[in-house]
Amino acid sequence: MELRSALRWLKARRWTTQLAVVGTLAVGVLLGTLISNGVRAARDVVAPDAKPLSIPSPAELSSTFSQVAKAVEPTVVNINTESVVTRDRRRRSTPDAPDPFQDFFERFFDFGPPERFRSESLGSGVIVDPNGYILTNYHVVEDADKIDVRLPGEEKNYRAKVVGYDNETDLAVIKIEAGRKLPAAKMGNSDAVEVGDWVLAIGSPFGLQATVTAGIISYKGRPGMQQFQRFIQTDAAINRGNSGGPLVNLAGEVIGINTAIMSSQGVYAGVGFALPSNIAVEVYNQLIQHGRMVRGSIGIYFDSTVARNPAVLRSFGAEHGVVVDRVVEGGPAARAGLRHGDVIYRVDDTPILNGEDLVNKVASTPVGQSVKIYYIREKEKRETKVSIEDRATLFSAEIAGSPRPDAQGEEASQQLGLTLEELNASTARRAGLSEDEAGLLVRDVEPGSFADEIGLQRNDVILEFNQQAVRTLREFRARQRELEPGSDVVFYIKRPTPNGWVGTYRGGTLPH
């Protein structure tokens, strides 16, 4: 009876047991598959110690740009200037015959007979004082007979006057009388900006007032054409008319004054330059106090590249410093005994590692104050005291860019049919000539004259008169007094061509 009962119990539990066995087998197969795949996956990973990258959720740039634009735009003005331009009637570039030297000679020389016409130019500026003081570029207002300023949202023009300018940084301060307090921009610290920071350029490109463009800082400390120019480089769009406008950070602070672009076509090509606000503030403060920038100098010339050449420095017995090329005659360095080949390695307690260190230290020292110069001569360390003088006085020709100081004048030679002018060393260098080629510039050739017949042309530079060097009008007159009817006259000249300056001889025999 008990056996029969047991068989009945087993028969009732048979399906349950089978299901349990099947379930157990299924779990085993699944675990085996997972373990096998995991082991295979581990073997397939190329860089097991690398973390997988993740993609962040999309985010939009905030409305910071528009907020900054609304805050700064009321301080940015449009500047229109008018000036009377004098241009040589006979010297012309045409599309078929471009003259690569025209810009140089039209900028630095005034040939006759001239024609006069009115020229207009556009620019921008930023109000930095509620009383109407505006910071802009000097080239925007240079030689202007009339300067008109238009405030944002107004059709009225305000006549402006120049308070002062600094040619070496291309900055100027102008002032308008608006009859009320004006919104003024906040100046920022340009030393705080970093490459990659967002910036806005605001101005009037092509006369389109209140135009805002955005970009980033792409470089800091880019050297300019002038010694005291160090630019912030940006890819914010800058075009003609933006000059003098502000470059601002996302705090709405002016960290630069838009000054120039790099472009072969004269329009935006992705690279623009702004003068840092720290330089602009320093210049502005001096211009409103003195009307000009006062910088100290000891009166020396040097090649800044030498300071970066260890081999050259070692040959002088120096680890670092600036090698003096030459000294200004009668200047403070000359009076203190400094000369060509000396290596200045320290000024007071400031080490001089490069030319910028020397310029910054000396230029920021008040005029009239003395500094101690530590230098190396013939591999021996020496020192001397030098009195700081006004740089504008020591380097007046270079700073002003004037090709003809009053002492040089001009003179017409009726005998030869020439109008000549002394070409100083500074202007010769700017024209692509060496200092030794600073001779006599031919400003005019009388038609049908002896000079015309032997082929002399305006803009030729006379270096020799009958195999004797002539650099001054006095030397030329002395050679000319030696001439008699029938004398041979031979000039060695440098002539501007599309491929640069070319030396050639021109000569003939004076008629009896």
Q: Are residues 100 and 231 in the same domain?
A: yes
Q: Are residues 255 and 357 in the same domain?
A: no
- Does residue 22 sit within a domain? no
Give SS3 for 333.
Answer: helix
Q: Are residues 80 and 130 in the same domain?
A: yes
Q: Which residues contact 240 (CB under 8 A, 6 or more apart)?
A: 122, 205, 206, 266, 267
pLDDT digits (tens, 9 = 90+) for 262-278: 766 667 788 999 999 99
- Of 21-25, 195-199, 305-309, 462-466, the poorest mean pLDDT is in 21-25
Give SS3 for 298.
Answer: coil
Q: Are residues 212 and 328 in the same domain?
A: no
Domain membership of residue 329 as a residue range: 297-394
Integer Cα distance of 201 and 318 in angstroms: 45
- Does residue 116 sit within a domain? yes
Q: Are residues 443 and 381 in the same domain?
A: no
Q: Are residues 268 and 339 in the same domain?
A: no
The enclosing domain of 471 has a CATH number of 2.30.42.10
Beta-sheet strands, E only, within 12-110: 76-88
pLDDT digits (tens, 9 = 90+) for 202-217: 999 988 988 999 999 9
Q: Are residues 265 and 326 in the same domain?
A: no
Q: Are residues 324 and 244 in the same domain?
A: no
- Of 254-263, 271-280, 333-342, 411-420, the poorest mean pLDDT is in 411-420
Of the pLDDT bands very low, low, confident and very high (cuts 50, 70, 90), residue 350 is very high
Distance from first CA to last CA of the chain, Å, rounded? 167
Q: Are residues 317 and 247 in the same domain?
A: no
Q: What is the mean pLDDT of the chain?
A: 82
As annotated, the active-site residues are 139, 170, 243
- Of 85-89, 361-365, 391-395, 458-462, the poorest mean pLDDT is in 85-89
Q: Are residues 327 and 366 in the same domain?
A: yes
Report how many helices (DSSP H) and strands (DSSP E) the chain contains, helices first.
Answer: 13, 28
What pLDDT is attached to residue 414? 56
What pLDDT is attached to residue 404? 33
Integer Cα distance of 402 and 407 in angstroms: 12
What pLDDT is attached to residue 34? 54
**145 pLDDT exceeds 80?**
yes
| Residue 291 Cα distances to 163, 164, 172, 369, angstroms | 6, 4, 10, 21
**374 pLDDT exceeds 60?**
yes
The enclosing domain of 94 has a CATH number of 2.40.10.120
What pLDDT is attached to residue 125? 97
Surface-to-core class of residue 103, CB atoms within 10 Å of its CB (0-12 exposed, 13-18 middle, 19+ buried): exposed
Count of domains for the chain: 3
Integer Cα distance of 259 and 135 in angstroms: 12
- Does residue 125 sit within a domain? yes
**pTM value?**
0.62
**171 pLDDT exceeds 60?**
yes
Q: Are residues 468 and 377 in the same domain?
A: no
Q: Quick one: what percent of the chain has pLDDT higher than 70?
A: 78
**433 pLDDT exceeds 50?**
yes
Residue at which a domain ends, from 293, 325, 357: 293
